[in-house]
Chain A
Amino acid sequence: FCQLEDWVSLSLLDISAASQSDPNSGWEARAVEFFKDRLKEKDAHTLVPSLNDIPMHYLKPNSLVKFRCFIQDMFDPEFYMGVYETVDPATQAKTLRCGKYKDVTECGVDFNSKNTVTAERQTFYCVPIPGENPWVKEISSASRVVPSTSYVPSRQKRSYEEDDDMDDMDTQPQKQREAHAGPQSPTEHHGNGDCKRQETEAPSSQTTSASHLDLNFPLPGEKGPSCLVKVYKDWDSFKLNDMLEVYGILSVSPALSALADEKDASSSLVDPTECMETAEEQRVHCPPASLVPRLHMLYAKQLQHNNPLLPSAATSEDNSAFLASTLSEMPSVREELLAYLTHVLLGDALAAEYLILHLISNVYVRRDVLPLGKFTLNMSGCPTVASYTERLYQIIQQLVPSSHYLGMSLQNMNQMRLVPKKDYVANRLVSGALQLAKNTSLYLDETQLEQGQLDTTGVRNVTALGNLISWQKVDYDFNYHQMEFPCNINVLIASEGRSLLPSDCQIHLQTQVAPSHLEEYLSTMHMLSQASSQLNKFRIYLSVARLLDYSISDEVTKSVEDDFVDMRKDDPQSISAEDLHRMLVVARLLSLSQGQTSLSRDSWLRAKHIEALRRSRMEQHKCVNGNEP
């Protein structure tokens, strides 16, 4: 442990050592390689402090940190001095230095040096994963490393005037290392609960003080640090809306923010840098480092999911072993979950079944324009009393890693920005509520609908939702044109009657509870306690079911075909191609929910059965309620 602790704080030493030595010797590449190897070691990554749970002023500048984040915007690539030479004013001695992983150069740069190498890097604007539920944050922060307590946040308050000692920053980590050289046992980490509370509060106060600076979170009311991540290689492999775990060097050099202030003071007519950017652009692309730190990426992991209870898929062997171990348990967990959800859905077991299918659905492939595997569920017949829909959301929130509740009230639809839009003045992508990471649950509450008229924004928003559901894509608004971004969002619509939005599947809730007793029932409805092991089992179950592979054998294919032909023969109106599509999705999800990785005849029959039940229920409902469309 002690050793690992060491290398975390050592990181910058290494890097700066690399910069000091001859940049061409490959030192730097080897150092990065070294980190990567270390991070692969078991639990090593838990030792790296995370920007997600530790407020920034507790973190040492220029130390190795990790950040679980979401790429909200990509800025233009920038050219920087990869290698440069400095001249000591006193001795005239020249030193080669490495500019990688740093924002600011050392003193006395020799601009005429022949040895200067210009290199390119890319900047991503990253925010915490939108809609990440509290339990994810809690669990992942429970296993984190405690920041060095010896480090007081006074650093933040230092004014940049006295910051000439930038160059002795290299020596600081060393001091830190000495300060807590003693090993820290993991039990200690869990112990200091009040410390945690203090920390979680800190960022919120920070954001309020910085309200003039819009951090551009996709969802309203989000908080947490946002970060400018500098990427040094392979930036083409990252895509917008990717979830990443970035390991990198934190840079909060106050000198960076100084730039903005200096601007006003020195406005000379002939300096082209003055007129190059507008004030807005400046604010967005160079926000104060204390608010939006820079993170120089050493290594990043693309996340398949953000469920902290699962291994984060560092190695595939690890992962498959984990999957295999859970596979056998899946049917029993499914039973428990089904019982729980039936209870929540007022005793409707069929609806609970469909809800499970919905929760594990996932767009697994796209056939030209057709996304396969999506399963948007419209749960109609939701009681409007006692804010039932909101309670339902709270339950779902406890189960899935990230989710968002969108009440479809007239005001919301007319005023909310759902679709991200490019702001050319500030040169950034202004986020919208539909800019979500993959597998986020979007909960649309249609019971909030009221009478009134949708204005242009409202119509556009409803169209965007419709597109999202039908094609799993969002057309981002680039003013002169639109750009299509594929997405993978699970949409659940709770409504009274049939939803005005399209959906893959509609199920009408049949409550087993008399309306008069509803209030009572809801008040006694028992919610699982936050940290219960059962809840954790459910969480693992839902995430695992999504990761499984799936196949259909030739034999089953044949029998499915036969079934289809037979059904059509009896009554061609009874089943269309669209119905078959849906049944195949239901069969797939049903198999996966039971931990089966290939379709069996039984699952197919069961899928047919529950589909038939659902349809008969809809028909029934149509008869009862003739004016339903």
Chain B
Amino acid sequence: MSSPASTPGGRKRGRNTNPPTPSSEDPTSPPSQRRRGQDSSTGDLMPMPTSPATDVLSPAAPQDTSLLSSPRPSGGHELPLDEGSPTRTLRNGAVASESNAGQRLVIWGTDVNVGTCKEKFQRFLQRFVDPTSTEDENAGLDLNEPLYMQKLEEISVVGDPVMNVNCRHVQSFDADLYRQLICYPQEVIPTFDMAVNELFFERFPDSFLEYQIQVRPYNALKTKSMRSLNPEDIDQLITISGMVIRTSQLIPEMQEAFFQCQVCAYSTRVEVDRGRIAEPAVCRHCNTTHSLALIHNRSVFSDKQMIKIQESPEDMPAGQTPHTTIVYAHNDLVDKVQPGDRVNITGIYRAVPMRVNPRQSNVKSVYKTHIDAIHFRKTDEKRLHGLDEEAEQKLFTEDRVQTLKELAAKPDVYERLSSALAPSIYEHEDIKKGILLQLFGGTRKDFSQTGRGNFRAEVNILLCGDPGTSKSQLLQYVYNLVPRGQYTSGKGSSAVGLTAYVMKDPETRQLVLQTGALVLSDNGICCIDEFDKMSDNTRSVLHEVMEQQTLSIAKAGIICQLNARTAVLAAANPVESQWNPKKTTIENIQLPHTLLSRFDLIFLMLDPQDEAYDRRLAHHLVSLYYQTEEQMEEEFLDMAVLKDYIAYARTYINPRLSEEASQALIEAYVDMRKIGSGRGMVSAYPRQLESLIRLAEAHAKVRFSEKVETIDVEEAKRLHREALKQSATDPRTGFVDISILTTGMSATARKRKEEVAQALKKLIQAKGKTPAMKYQQLLDDLRGQSETAITKELFDEALRALADEDYLTVTGKTVRLLA
């Protein structure tokens, strides 16, 4: 009985005169329950006689029924050739007579006048223009023409008789109409259907549709989280967001029963009335009683599906479990969503009383609630087209935006935000700033037309340093701060855990792709702790993600490329458990340099070991242990503000480089190249330039500035240099050397290697005649000859270098000369 199609006739009559808005006076009695009452009392009586005096409308009412949000396709099936089906004309006739009858007439229980409502809606369709529309649904439409007329045209071409109407448009066009739509969707939506069909067939009289056009309103401004639904919302149009957790099998719901007389084979059809079928007791043809039998395969059924949705984890208060709601989808909405999808559902909220025992008249005093879906909108699908603007918009109230902007206008906003980040972690200002910029990210650039694909906008950061320097804590903080964060530990994650794996769904027995941490944190941050403990195999997955921002998968017959536009925040411990200042970063963390060069910033978190620092640290820690609750409260506010600030900046601010900024960047890059060139080292690569640009953009975002200016570049440069100084300093010379990161070896070390190789070559040439030498002897000879100490490793490397030149080969313990 919950099918919207089957209910409204009874409902209208049952409803008492409602005030325009649901007020406390008649808050609630869900009319559906009255239906029940009638059911029990008047078994197969037609409800007509009980209906109150507004008989003017009653003839029209049953027809409204079929038009409701989910008109039965049955109509279409039955009369596939006659698009201007008799029902339609009939309905038009009825409606026409109504509007003639005068403006005062309203549908029982509402203040809706069908005629006016229809006119208003037609006017809306014909006139509504939304030049600023950015919705992807309207892509390809002329924004200066009436939007919905173009959609009608589209329907006539495509033949898909569904018209999605954004409620916000209705509201901006006619607030009263919108209010009616929200409060009396049951009555208004069929009226809209009528209006749209009239209009359509006026315009395109020759077109053929499988069935009537359905109006599907969405984005009702009364968007609710599931938690805020309350009895006042019953029978209203609502939009709620959530995640689909379960979908049922398809349920055939009888719309029309087919009865045949067992005696004379006379057949008759009975429509479902409020979920019940009145079985004819007497055959009209032969007057035999109880001779009619139901013929199932000639009855008409419609599709129905039960869908369970659950609150999305983001809009839940802490410490509570998510609520679930049942949604019924009808006809072509069936199977539109799958478990795991995040959806916005627009529909009518309903409540039906439960009965304990049909034989007793005791009733469990609880209503079963559900939503009859009218429109689904998947939210993650939209993410493919960019950020979810609607969802974001509702996040920020005017006031909030104002506060954020005020904050942004402060000159020290950058410092403020960075100090609000993980306040329990002491100092490490630059690291916090780096992470802050990572949270904001750069601007996404699309060069796919010129063949380079997307440029990554995400900033990747690696923290390495002594154990116990609260690296994990920083990671945990970031993970808790960002909405789409993932936290994994290098030790516990496998390559498939990070990417995706294919598994058999226990229910459907189909192979399904389960996504891993990197894909899940698309548009967010993936925090990887104990990066150094990750197996090489696993780490290799990161190469693609960290530069191309995609993940290619080819397993179990599934070949695909997933988006993984995630920023990586990784933490690594030194190999020797304590950082060895005499070694380079690479040597300390033993990570392949191909991977290291993909990090924009690499920070060392070391124990500074100086007295003033110790004192401040001690003070900071002690204060953690006695600060009062109020001080804590303040901080929590900060975290919320920070969250909003980041979300706002990420959504609305897309800074572009200004002329001066580009110049400054060029200079900075050239400088960086120059520093190294003097000593035969290259200290910058194009990748570093890209990092600089990203950092500058992120800094501009922090300032809510649409333009990247010189100060942004300055800060980017400073931070980059700061990170370089910490991580790319050659311990042998004390100079910054980017090649430590890009080749894994500092230029001095490389030079040394070459020298040894040359010396070895000379030594061998000096020996002249022998084609084969003992390995150990050669080493001893070289050591005897050289002034500096020659380690075994160095010797091996020199041999390898010579082998590469095809000068010699090494087999076991013998060295043979070639050529």
Contact = CB atoms under 8 A, between A and B. Distances in A.
A484 B314 CA distance: 12
The listed residue with most A CB atoms (<10 A of its CB), out of B29, B313, B472, is B29
Contacts of A119: 231
A269 B254 contact: yes
B429 interface: no
Contact of A480 (B243, B272, B367): B243
B356 A262 contact: yes
B29 A113 contact: yes
Given A102-B365, A550-B626, A471 B351 contact: no
Please classify the interface of chain B as helix (H, G, I), strand (E, B), loop, or mixed, using the class held by over half of its residues.
mixed
The listed residue with most B CB atoms (<10 A of its CB), out of A259, A272, A588, is A272
Nearest to A77: B323
A427 interface: yes
Interface stretch (B32-40, B176-184, B749-757): B32-40
A420 to B, nearest CB: 10
B28 to A, nearest CB: 4
A213 interface: no
Given A119-B231, A427-B308, A485-B319, A103 B364 contact: yes
Contacts of B306: 275-276
Given A118-B351, A272-B2, A481-B313, A255 B362 contact: yes
A283 to B, nearest CB: 16
A81 interface: yes
Contacts of B209: none
A427 B317 CA distance: 19
Interface string B303-328: 00010101001001111111111101
A74 B322 CA distance: 8
Interface in A440-465: 459, 463
A258 B316 CA distance: 35
B30 A73 contact: no
A239 B363 contact: no
Contact of A276 (B365, B370, B623): B370
Interface stretch (A309-317, A377-385, A570-578): A570-578
Contacts of B60: none
Contact of A552 (B360, B476, B618, B622): B622
B133 to A, nearest CB: 32
Nearest to A100: B365
Given A74-B321, A486-B319, A270 B365 contact: no
A424 interface: yes
B33 A76 contact: no
B452 interface: no
A316 B33 CA distance: 47
B275 A272 contact: yes
Contacts of B340: 480
A576 B607 contact: yes
Contacts of A76: 323-325
A568 interface: yes
B492 to A, nearest CB: 6
Interface stretch (A52-60, A200-208, A361-369, A411-419): A361-369
Contact of B621 (A73, A77, A113, A580): A580
Interface string A269-293: 1111101100000000000000000
A103 B468 contact: no
Interface string A105-126: 1111111111011111000000
Interface residues of B, number: 97
B361 interface: yes
Interface string A140-162: 00000000000000000000000
Contacts of B29: 113-114, 116-118
B362 A270 contact: no
Contacts of A580: 617-618, 621
A236 B618 contact: no
Contacts of B639: 368
A117 B368 CA distance: 15
Please classify the interface of chain A as helix (H, G, I), strand (E, B), loop, or mixed, using the class held by over half of its residues.
mixed
Nearest to B30: A118
Given A120-B230, A239-B319, A427-B308, A368 B470 contact: no
Contacts of B356: 104, 255-256, 258-259, 262
B482 to A, nearest CB: 13
A391 interface: no
A384 B458 CA distance: 53
B354 to A, nearest CB: 6
B468 A576 contact: yes
A105 B319 contact: no
Contacts of B353: 81, 111
Interface stretch (B418-426, B687-695, B773-781): B418-426
Nearest to B611: A565
Contacts of A479: 245
Contact of A80 (B316, B366, B469): B366
A118 B480 CA distance: 39
B619 interface: yes
Given A106-B362, A480-B243, A368 B33 contact: no
Nearest to B358: A266
Interface string A559-585: 011001100110010001110110011
Contact of B365 (A104, A551, A581): A104
A173 interface: no
A111 B41 CA distance: 11
Contacts of B623: 557
B402 to A, nearest CB: 26
B426 A577 contact: yes
A542 B522 CA distance: 48
Contact of B422 (A106, A368, A427, A551): A368
Given A480-B245, A552-B622, A572-B609, A99 B254 contact: no
Contacts of A241: 319
Interface string A199-231: 000000000000000000000000000000000
A79 B362 contact: no
A372 interface: yes
A59 B635 CA distance: 49
A402 B494 CA distance: 38
A424 B245 contact: yes
Contacts of B325: 76
A424 B339 CA distance: 11
A471 B277 CA distance: 59
Contacts of B14: 112
Nearest to A78: B366
A424 B308 contact: yes
B27 interface: yes
Interface in B395-433: 422-424, 426
A109 B361 contact: yes
Contacts of A396: none
A51 B730 CA distance: 72
A131 to B, nearest CB: 20
Given A369-B476, A565-B618, A118 B37 contact: no
Contacts of A354: none
A478 interface: yes
Contacts of A568: 609, 611, 614
Interface of A: 73-74, 76-81, 84, 99, 102-114, 116-120, 164, 166, 236, 239-241, 255-256, 258-259, 262, 266, 269-273, 275-276, 365, 367-370, 372, 424-425, 427, 429, 459, 463, 470-471, 478-481, 483-486, 550-552, 557, 560-561, 564-565, 568-569, 572, 576-578, 580-581, 584-585, 588
Given A78-B369, A104-B363, A259-B356, 8 more contacts: A79-B234, A118-B30, A236-B320, A239-B318, A271-B1, A369-B424, A550-B626, A588-B625
Interface of B: 1-2, 14, 16, 26-30, 33-38, 230-231, 234, 243, 245-246, 248, 251, 253-254, 272, 275-277, 306, 308, 310, 313, 316-326, 328, 339-340, 351-354, 356-358, 360-370, 422-424, 426, 468-470, 472-473, 476-477, 480, 489, 492, 607, 609, 611, 614-615, 617-619, 621-626, 629, 632, 635, 639
- Lowest 3 A-B CB distances belong to which pairs? A111-B37, A239-B319, A367-B424
